[in-house]
Amino acid sequence: MMWKKLVILCRRFQLAVFQVLMYRKAEKLAEVLCDHTLGNNSEIDYLLLPSNYVGQSPLIDWLSVTSVTFSYEKACKNHVNCNADILIQIKSGLVCTCMIQNSLVTTPHNGHAYIISGLLTNINANSLLRLSDGRLMTYKEYYEKRHGINLCYSQVSFLAGRHIFRVQNHIQRRRKQKEKESSNAFVELPPELCCVVMSPISISTFYSFTFLPSIMHRLESLLLATSLKKMHLNHCVQNVAIPTMKVLEAITTKKCLENFHLESLETLGDSFLKYAVCQQLFKKYQNHQEGLLSIRKEKFISNTALSMLGCDKKLPGFIRNEPFDPKDWTIPGYNCGSYSLNEETLCNAKKIYVTGRRKLKFKKVADVVEALIGAYLSTGGEAAGFLFLDWIGISINFTNIPYERHFKVRAEKFVNVQHFESLLHYSFQDPSLLVEALTHGSYMLAEIPGCYQRLEFLGDSVLDYLITLHLYNKYPGLTPGLLTDLRSASVNNNCYALSAVKAGFHKHILQSSQKLYKDIKETVESFQELSLEYTFGWESEKSFPKVLGDVMESLAGAIFVDSGYNKEIVFQSIRPLLEPMITPETLKVHPVKELYELCQRQHYELRKPIVSHEDGISSITIEVEANGKVFKHTSTVCDKKMAKKLASKEVLKSLKGASCS
């Protein structure tokens, strides 16, 4: 039938073009051009064809498609009456110049393929050629000395040829500077050495086909994301409209080297998951202290737990974890014999096709679970986030759990309630929550049945989520990873502690520890110096007592419970105390991260830190070998994280100083 012949013709054209572009040689071209059963047993088969526009409608460019059927004998018959002036001698014989222009030729003497764009009327075998060393010789002399070929048609104009375009990864993140095209891409070819294999086909057609592997890879990735989205939607009673690109972002890791990846969504999803789980545990286990609540929390949000849930839903098969390599792209319709598809049934009875198996780390799967939570949350709100949690296997239902407190105390006896309400811009329905939020574990009175740890457990997750959500919404154009850095710089003990001291909360903490009193006193005494040197707590080179940051979190937890779990009220109350909040402009890269990235970029050897502990003091040595020289520094302070930060900062200074000298 006619349509079957046309399909085979189109397959031959498609395979011929891609074989030439992918392998840039003419070796496999002959078998493709001669095979009339192409694609019959191929696992992946669709057609990509050139088109011309007629008015507003694209039509298949059949002239280019039929170029694959070119034969010298047919060309001679069609142009038997051509004027001798427009005939040109090629390796097979005389052909009309219209057949050689816009053609694909091979040169048997070196096995290369070239695209011909036209004739060079000012260049022939007697023209001079300048060699790379500056010497001049004629093309005739060059071919005789270099290839042992004697050019017979000295007066025939050469062909303007071009080496085959390279098929590149066009979806990979690239530098802004545009690479200049190499002058070596263009060549002058003696027609008598050329064999025409495809004609007519333009240079622009070949060029446009170099983008198709990247385009099809992106389409395949979008179809993958669509399939994952459908799996979730089939589970949902409610219709949740999530853009496919957002799902694609959530399943794309940094290793893909594309302009987007999952890190921002992962950060958002992580904070929401922590917020949802902590709130449920806080209400469900009302007699559990913070330690037990934290253990239960880990069972929900640990990388191991999340990766197991992700594997149960077959998520590893959807994760994109390597950059696209055009060499690995399967040409549609090409039966290479090394590609097979196996049918597999998913949890919702949906069938998918599996190409093979691979290994992924637990954390990578967990990251994608968190990123997908972030994707649904960012586009569909908390309702969509909860629906996704339910689908993945984390059932959150705390709306109907009543919270009963057994904390009966006359708040005014221990805390200046009016003063705190004016600081927080919030009036407590139950002032005893304020007492609980300010009570340290060392303060043991029969009248006060507990300390702030439960409220701190809750407030920590609420503040983390509120700040992360604020940053995500306020700076929508952030590059992937910057949200993580902003969150790390905003959500930490030093930031909260500095804010607590500014507000004077330290004066009202109920505690009975001499060491804690001494630590707080020393911090407050140095506060004047710190506030002049550092605007933000995360910049400080001194560690703040943990209790100061804990109190900020427990106060957030107290307001959250008292307001009927209204997180907006919490943010309205706590945010002014955290000002000035960190912005992308004021953010400084953490010294540990900056050093790691510098070593990666410059290929320096960052050795494993040497850590020691003695009498509650941590000592860390950071060592880097750069250009044959070793740079190292040792910091000794109470806090291990601060010691690593200070040591990294000093090594950075040394490395930067050495590069400038």
CATH number at residue 622: 3.30.160
Answer with the one of 189, 208, 227 that is the final residue of a domain: 208
pLDDT in tens, 542-557: 778 899 999 999 999 9
**493-503 and 567-578 helices, crossing angle to 10°:** 80
pLDDT of residue 660: 66
Are residue 420 and residue 492 in the same domain, yes or no?
yes
Last residue of a domain, one of 546, 578, 610: 578
List, for residues 475-504, the tens digit of each pLDDT value.
Answer: 988 887 889 989 988 998 888 998 999 999
More confident residue, 231 or 335: 231
Q: Are residues 231 and 374 in the same domain?
A: yes
Task: Give the domain range for residue 365.
Answer: 213-321+360-392
Q: What is the pLDDT of residue 532?
A: 46
Note whether 222 and 202 are same-domain residues.
Answer: no
Of all helices (H) and strands (E), which one includes residue 380? Answer: helix 362-392
Lowest mean pLDDT among 188-202, 257-271, 326-340, 615-629: 326-340
Question: Of the segments 50-59, 174-183, 288-297, 343-352, which one has the largest average pLDDT value?
Answer: 288-297
Three-state SS letters, 65-116:
HHHHHCCHHHHHHHCCCCCHHHEEEECCEEEEHHHHCCEEEEECCCCEEEEE
Tokens of 391: 């689908």
Amino acid (1-letter code) at residue 615: D
Pair 421, 285 in one domain: no
Residue 340 is predicted with a pLDDT of 60
pLDDT digits (tens, 9 = 90+) for 136-159: 999 999 999 999 999 999 999 999
Instruction: Specify the pLDDT at position 363.
Output: 94
Q: Give yes or no: residues 197 and 217 share one domain.
A: no
pLDDT band at 177 (very low <50, low <70, confident <90, very high): very low
Q: Which of 116, 124, 156 is closest to 140 using CA atoms?
A: 124
Q: What's the pLDDT score for residue 564?
A: 92
Beta-carbon contacts of 648 under 8 Å, excluding residues fewer than 6 positions away, are: 591, 592, 594, 595, 622
- Beta strands 342-345 and 351-354 are antiparallel
Same domain, 311 and 388: yes
**For residue 33, is pLDDT > 70?**
no
* Mean pLDDT to the nearest integer, 629-657: 86
- Tokens 């002959």 map to which residue? 30
**Residue 241 pLDDT > 90, yes or no?**
no
What pLDDT, on a 0 to 100 scale, did the predictor assign at position 510?
94
Q: Is residue 350 part of a domain?
A: no
Q: Lowest-pLDDT range, 273-287, 305-319, 616-630?
A: 616-630
User: pLDDT tens, 312-322?
Assistant: 998 999 999 99
User: Mean pLDDT over residues 615-622, rounded?
Assistant: 85
Decide if 151 is inside a domain: no
Render 571-603 in DSSP notation, one character per residue.
Answer: HHHHHHHHPSPP-TTT----HHHHHHHHHHHHT
- pLDDT tens per residue across span 356-384: 677 889 999 999 999 999 999 999 999 99
d(CA 599, CA 603): 5
- What per-residue confidence (pLDDT) applies to 447? 84
Q: If we measure between CA atoms, which residue out of 109, 88, 111 comes closest to residue 159?
A: 88
Is the pLDDT confidence value at 570 over 80? Answer: yes
Q: In this structure, is residue 138 part of a structural domain?
A: no
Please state the rounded mean pLDDT for residues 10-39: 76
Q: Are 366 and 307 in contact (CB under 8 A)?
A: yes
Token digits of residue 238: 């409610």
Buried b (16+ CB within 10 A) or exposed e, 88-115: bebbeeebbbebbbbbbbbbeeeebbbb
DSSP state at residue 323: -
Q: Which of 546, 553, 654 is nearest to 604 (CA)?
A: 654
| Residue 44 or residue 453, greater confidence | 453
- Whether the per-residue pLDDT at 125 is higher than 90: the answer is yes
**Domain-embedded: residue 401:** no
- Average per-residue pLDDT for the chain: 86
- Residue 400 is assigned to a structural domain of this protein: no
Residues 183, 295 within the same domain: no
Report the pLDDT value the prediction gives residue 346, as an integer from 0 to 100: 58
For 416-470, write each residue's pLDDT tens digit: 999 999 999 999 999 999 999 999 999 988 888 889 999 999 999 999 999 999 9
The better pLDDT of the pair 510, 523 is held by: 510
Do 218 and 183 share a structural domain?
Answer: no
Q: Are 15 and 36 in contact (CB under 8 A)?
A: no
Among the ranges 196-210, 531-545, 615-629, 642-656, which has the highest mean pLDDT value? 196-210
* 52 phi/psi in degrees, rounded to 5: -120, 150
Phi and psi dihedrals of 400, rounded to 5? Answer: -105, 15
pLDDT in tens, 88-109: 889 888 888 888 889 999 998 8
- In whole angstroms, give the CA distance from residue 68 to residue 71: 9
Residues 381 and 475 in one domain: no
- pLDDT tens column, 340-363: 666 665 555 566 666 667 788 999
Do 451 and 547 lie in one domain? The reply is yes
CATH of the domain at 487: 1.10.1520.10
Give me the pLDDT at residue 105, please: 93
The neighbour count for residue 511, using CB atoms within 10 Å, is 17
- The total of structural domains in the chain comes to 4
**90, part of any domain:** yes
Question: Tokens representing 188?
Answer: 């002058």
- Quote the pTM value: 0.85
The answer as to whether 353 is a domain residue is no
On whether the CB atoms of residues 203 and 20 are closer than 8 A, the answer is: no
Q: Are residues 522 and 616 in the same domain?
A: no
Residue linked to tokens 């005494």: 525
- Pick from 515, 547, 578: which residue ends a domain? 578
Do 253 and 296 lie in a common domain?
Answer: yes
Query: Residue 259: how many CA atoms within 13 Å on its side-chain side?
Result: 9
Separation of alpha carbons 467 and 474, rounded Å? 10
Position 100 in a domain: yes
Q: What is the pLDDT of residue 181?
A: 52
End-to-end C-alpha distance for the chain, whole angstroms: 77
Instruction: Look at residue 377 in the predicted model and tell me its pLDDT.
Output: 95
Select from 181, 122, 127 the least CA-distant residue to 157: 122
- 138 three-state secondary structure: strand
Size (the chain), residues = 661
Q: Is 245 exposed, middle or buried (0-12, 13-18, 19+ CB in 10 A)?
A: middle
